[in-house]
A and B are shown apart, each in its own frame.
Chain A
Amino acid sequence: MAIVKVSGIETEYGILARGTESNPVLASSLLINAYIEANSPDVEHDVPAWNFDDEQPDIDARGFSLESAMPPEVEMHLVNAVLTNGARYYVDHAHPEISTPECANAWETLIYDCAGEEIIRQSMAAVNRTLPSGVEMLLYKNNSDGKGNSYGCHENFLVARDVPFGRIVSQITPHFVTRQVFAGAGKVGSEMLGVSAEQVPFQMSQRADFFEEEVGLETTLKRPIVNTRDEPHCDPQKYRRLHVIVGDANMSQVATFLKVGTTSLILSLIEDDVLGADLTLAHPVSAIRQVSYDPTLKQTLLMANGSRMTAMEIQWALFQKSVNYVKSVGFDSVGGEIIGQRILDLWEEVLTGLDHDPESVADMVDWIAKKRIVDGMQSRHGLSHGDSRLKAIDLQYHDMRAEKCLATRAGLRTLVESAHVERAILHAPDTTRAYFRGQCLERWPDQVVSANWDCLVLDVGRGPLRRVPMMEPLRGTKDLVGQICSESQTLLELLDRLGAEK
């Protein structure tokens, strides 16, 4: 029986400081600090810092490490904050990055991804109030600058440790290659050397140009379709965290929900070993570009068994296997029946629409919504492939300024009520250990010395600092500790009562 697919999304935003010589690291730090100061103006304490003790991004899930591989470095000197909603907000390389808190299902993950966008908008407004006139900071939720530089939107999924990693790699790959038919954010042109704007005027995915390996540890060079970073941020005897680097950042809520929801489902099938190997691709790396470069959705891909299938046929096969799976096993691993059925319904709706008339799902799929605008502007103004105005449309689709964003004008379907997003900006989900982290940060911010995903270090006012490990992602929830939290007057009382409960 597959375990609950606790999930989250880490998004690196593009950042541009206009009207000044821009250093993106400094710009990102200013942005995040402006948000933190705007949200805690009276606070005299230091903002709780991130604790790096347990960060080991160079451990490989395959159980070995490649001498030549370059493990990602953890940058400890940059701004790094943990928010009351349980999220982490920090400078990663030269980008501001928000990691959602741990969410119990795809629906919650969507809500916290939307909250992340709002936090970015609020940060942008806050920092721009402090900048001299003529200087402005702009943020973009995309994955490429159109000049060969890419930055990521990574998903994370909780997987049982006893599932052989080789099975995950081989069986999730067909989904990672083909889910871009509904989850691709679209891109004008290609960033592959030697591929012209005439050859690829528009492609489905922001990221497909950047993948060179089927599997590996890297995230910045020779990017792999399946990333092997083995850093579970929870009990390593019981769990893995599958770190997914292949996806695009989505503006469409439907796309974000489906990207996480369908992947949670397929991982459940793999965990219960019912997916099978019949959808294995012969050449996944070339296939991911082949799919991305084919907005007609008609090209076939060579399968390992010698047959040929379109990306749509592979998606329909994955959908059908998922339908059969939930008939016997149910929706427990993906958030229960209401959320699970919603994943299936939207998945079926989007695939049906793509088969019938791709324009009909322009309200669900980013690449189609974007392509509709690009094609419309191209024919209205008689622009050639490669015209700067088409590339500007591509960038501006992802603009975080409400008055400039094209995605918000494109008629995308809204799934989440704004009140739920508002709540998620400040408060953690009730359903995972993020609840306990969020409660401590909301109520006793000056006593939280440091925090990370799987532990808190707390100063209870006397004696040594107390380290609270949180190795179980589904403990520390409102159901389990909500009453004790609300009844405790002090942090010391809370810890004593939690200790007594154990």
Chain B
Amino acid sequence: MAERVQKQKSNSERVAEEVVSSEASSQQGEKLKAELDDLLDEIDDVLESNAEDFVKSYIQKGGE
């Protein structure tokens, strides 16, 4: 019983937690976006220079 009482939180506590978690997720979102930008910069650098020729030349025989 004591455990359940402890787990109950007041409304204000809950709101505060939600604010913190939404701030955290927006920070997380910013961080992910920045990471993706860095990743795309890197990919722009390593991507095959002539994509069309590369894709055309990639012909395989069926296997298995």
Contacts and interface: CB of A to CB of B under 8 A. Distances in A.
Interface string B24-64: 00000000100110011011101110011011111111111
A151 B48 CA distance: 23
A393 B46 CA distance: 10
Contacts of B44: 377
A380 B64 contact: no
A392 B64 contact: no
B48 A396 contact: yes
Interface string A389-424: 101110110000001101001110000000000000
A121 B52 CA distance: 25
Q: How large is the interface on A (under 10, 10 to 19, 20 to 34, 35 or more residues)?
A: 35 or more
Contacts of A16: 57-58
Contacts of A359: 32
Interface in A116-153: 140, 144-147, 149-152
A24 B61 contact: yes
Given A391-B51, A393-B43, 17 more contacts: A92-B63, A93-B64, A94-B60, A145-B58, A145-B59, A149-B61, A150-B62, A151-B63, A152-B63, A154-B64, A372-B36, A373-B43, A376-B36, A376-B40, A377-B40, A392-B54, A393-B47
Nearest to B33: A376
B60 A149 contact: yes
Contact of A395 (B32, B55, B62, B64): B55
B48 A95 contact: no
B46 A404 contact: yes
Given A393-B43, A403-B46, A404-B46, A92 B51 contact: no
A410 B61 contact: no
Question: Chain A at the B interface: mostly helix, strand, loop or mixed?
Answer: mixed
Interface in A324-383: 359, 372-373, 376-377, 380
Contact of A396 (B47, B63, B64): B47
A112 to B, nearest CB: 20
Contacts of B63: 12, 92-95, 97, 150-152, 220
Interface of B: 32, 35-36, 39-40, 42-44, 46-48, 51-52, 54-64
Contacts of B54: 388, 392, 395
A152 B64 CA distance: 6
Contacts of A393: 43, 47
A372 B51 CA distance: 19
A219 interface: yes
Given A145-B59, A146-B58, A147-B59, A409 B39 contact: yes
Nearest to A151: B63
B64 A220 contact: yes
Nearest to B32: A359
The 4 closest A-B CB pairs, nearest first, are: A151-B63, A94-B61, A392-B51, A219-B64
Nearest to A17: B57
A145 B43 CA distance: 21
Contacts of A395: 54-55, 58
A18 interface: yes
Contact of A373 (B40, B61, B62): B40
Given A388-B55, A391-B55, A411-B39, A24 B60 contact: yes
